[in-house]
Amino acid sequence: MALLRHGPAALRERRGRGSGLRDPYRILADLRAGRRLDPADIATVARGAVDGSWSDAQLGAFLMGAVLQELDEEQTLALTRAMLESGEQWQLREAFGAVGDKHSTGGVGDKTSLLLAPLAAAAGLPMAMLTGRGLGHTGGTADKLEAIPGFEQELSRERVIELLADCGIALGVATAGIAPADRKLYALRDRTATVDSLPLMVASILSKKLATGASAIVFDVKVGDAAFLPELDRALELAARLVGITRDLGVAASALLSDMDQPLGDWVGHAAEVREVLDCLEGRGPQETVELTLALALELSEALDLGWTEASLRSLLDSGAPRERFARWAVAQGAEPAFFDAPDLPLAPVERVLHAERAGVVTRVEARRLGLLLAEAGASRRAIGADLDLGVSLRYSTRLGRRVEAGEELARVYLRRDDPALVERFASCFHVGDVGLEAPLLHGRLGS
């Protein structure tokens, strides 16, 4: 004999069958049972996140179910589309033809957006990017731009179009009108232990990135100690999902897997990284920062059939045109023109040198821990709305695989106040041994 079920829950379940009614209870019950959700169900979740018809408890249950049952690619595509369509879509490519964009999964010293944008724009490709704030050990591009006095980052679609028409570059934070469903779900992910789900991560990234309507996106997926996904196989899976779903939604895409077993370039810290970008634009910057930027630019060129070569881009950098474009863009976004005559990017006043304790080879650098220590020293916000210390910085003076002598400088830290214990913790991030290998700049590529 069949067991009869009674009560409100059973009544809702019976009413849901065949009636077309898909309330939160039915959708969550199907997800819990491992049944696939169709695009209409997922659109209902996104709509409920925006209009309030789904409670935080129900949205949290959806997030946990999405993690435990692992949304497949089709469901991830549906969630991306639903969150994208929950807000504004700017369709910039309709106004400008070709528009480029770039997204990094974040790291330590990761500053290439600020170099790529003026380089690509000077080569003729408008660049529009929604930038992010720092998270944990990583520093966000939006935080770095705060080091430029007067720089405006809250941009409407109309303002972005003005900037692209004027100087070919617009970088700003996502406004409230962009992917509001993601804004709600993102806040809940942090409270429900669902941050590291690949499907949720992909949908969150792309629902914002695709809202601008770029023609092509290049993804810089980090691998190594300071990467969000340190293992190569997981990073490759993330890259494949980002590229695949972006293409499914009609935008050209490719990905580079770049190394994050050590900081990128010479500097970590908001003002210091802007200084490094300006150095690169003037031909004095570290080769790793320039080479990764060139590789990203060439991905955009291939996606849009622009015909750029490494030689042509290096020649353009040497001409000074990208440096002029950077200044023109920053002033158009509110920066003080005098800043570029003599950039004022002060470092924190307490300078301490970190030395090698023995002769040997640099075998390991705890890059993630370096980022966390800089955050602890003030380079990251401890609460929403709190101030950043833009001058707290680290100069990375060595490289993995490099031979050093006892007492040789490995790095310098710049702090707001003297803290010997903190300096010792910075020093303990550097390891010198007998045998060590250089780190490759790139671990792979995913494209056409």
Tokens of 16: 């849901």
Tokens of 336: 């003080």
Angle at 143 between CA 138 and CA 145, to 5 degrees: 130
Residue 203 near residue 75, CB atoms below 8 Å = no
Q: What's the pTM value of the predicted model, to 2 decimals? A: 0.93
Residue 61 near residue 187, CB atoms below 8 Å = no
Gap between the Cα atoms of 434 and 77, Å rounded: 48
Q: How many CA atoms lie within 13 A of 317 on its CB side?
A: 26
Gap between the Cα atoms of 273 and 169, Å rounded: 19
Known catalytic residues?
Answer: 103, 182, 189, 204, 208
Q: What is the mean pLDDT of residues 284-310?
A: 98
> Could you report the per-residue pLDDT of 56-77, keeping only the tens digit for each?
999 999 999 999 999 999 999 9
Share of the chain above pLDDT 70, in %: 94
Residue 87 near residue 98, CB atoms below 8 Å = no
Sheet order of strands, 442-446 included: 169-173, 127-131, 100-104, 216-223, 252-259, 442-446
Q: What is the mean pLDDT of residues 180-200?
A: 93
- What is the set of domains in the chain, with CATH numbers? 10-69 (1.20.970), 92-342 (3.40.1030.10), 350-433 (3.90.1170.30)
Residue 229 near residue 238, CB atoms below 8 Å = yes
- Distances in Å between the alpha carbon of 130 and those of 15, 169, 211, 291? 43, 11, 9, 23
> Could you report the per-residue pLDDT of 160-181, keeping only the tens digit for each?
999 999 999 999 998 999 999 9
Whose tokens are 């020093």? That residue is 427
Residue 221 zone, left/alpha/beta (φ > 0; ψ -120 to 50; rest) = beta
Residue 179 zone, left/alpha/beta (φ > 0; ψ -120 to 50; rest) = left
> Could you report the per-residue pLDDT of 366-422, keeping only the tens digit for each?
999 999 999 999 998 766 667 889 999 999 999 999 999 999 999 999 999 999 999
Instruction: Using the predicted structure, report yes or no on whether residue 48 has a pLDDT greater than 90.
Output: yes
Tokens of 117: 């944008």
Residue type, 45: V
Tokens of 168: 């070919």
Instruction: Using the predicted structure, report yes or no on whether residue 3 has a pLDDT greater than 90.
Output: no
Instruction: Using the predicted structure, report yes or no on whether residue 16 has a pLDDT greater than 70.
Output: no
Residue type, 55: S
Name every residue whose Cβ is closer than 8 Å to that of residue 242 and which is 6 or more positions away in sequence: 103, 202, 205, 206, 219, 221, 253, 255
Instruction: Using the predicted structure, report yes or no on whether residue 1 has a pLDDT greater than 60.
Output: no
pLDDT for position 381: 73
